[in-house]
Amino acid sequence: MLVLDGVTKSYGERRALDDVGFTIEAGRLTGFVGGNGAGKTTTMRIILGVLAADSGSVLIDGIPVSAAARRRFGYMPEERGLYPKMRVREQLVYLARLHGWTAAAAGRSADGLLEQLELGARADDPLESLSLGNQQRAQIAAALVHQPDLLVLDEPFSGLDVMAVDLVQNVLKEQAARGVPVLFSSHQLDVVERLCDDLVIIAGGQIRAAGRRDELRAQYARRVWELGVDDPDWVPGWLDGRGTVGATTDTSVQLEAPDDVRRDLLATAIARGPVHSWRHVQPSLAEIFREVVG
Ligand X SMILES: Nc1ncnc2c1ncn2[C@@H]1O[C@H](COP(=O)(O)OP(=O)(O)OP(=O)(O)O)[C@@H](O)[C@H]1O
Q: Could you give the string, one character per residue 8-47, with x where binding to ligand X holds by CB under 6 A and - elsewhere?
A: ---x--x-x-----------------x-xxxxxxx-----
Beta strands 252-256 and 224-229 are antiparallel
Determine the Cα–Cα distance for residues 109 and 144; give it in Å rounded to an integer: 9
The single-letter code of the amino acid at 259 is D
Q: Of 37 and 112, which has the nearer Cβ to ligand X?
A: 37
Burial of 169 (0-12, 13-18, 19+ CB in 10 A): middle
- Give min distance, CB of 38 to ligand X, in A: 4
Q: Of 40 and 262, which has the nearer Cβ to ligand X?
A: 40
Rg, C-alpha atoms of the chain: 24
Let me know: does 212 contact 230? Beta carbons within 8 Å: no
Q: Of 11 and 83, which has the nearer Cβ to ligand X?
A: 11
- Give min distance, CB of 126 to ligand X, in A: 28
- Give min distance, CB of 14 to ligand X, in A: 5
- Give min distance, CB of 34 to ligand X, in A: 5
Q: Of 42 and 175, which has the nearer Cβ to ligand X?
A: 42
Determine the Cα–Cα distance for residues 186 and 157; give it in Å rounded to an integer: 7
The CA dihedral of 207, 208, 214, 220, to the nearest 10 degrees, is 170
- Give min distance, CB of 123 to ligand X, in A: 31
Say what angle helices 132-144 and 88-98 make with each other, to 10 degrees: 20
Number of neighbours of residue 135 by Cβ within 10 angstroms: 19
160 by DSSP, 3-state: which? coil
Determine the Cα–Cα distance for residues 50 and 48; give it in Å rounded to an integer: 5
Please, which of residues 133-172 interact with ligand X by CB under 6 A? none
Q: Of 34 and 283, which has the nearer Cβ to ligand X?
A: 34
- Give min distance, CB of 159 to ligand X, in A: 14
Q: Of 51 and 245, which has the nearer Cβ to ligand X?
A: 51
Which parts of this chain interact with ligand X (CB under 6 A)? 11, 14, 16, 34, 36-42
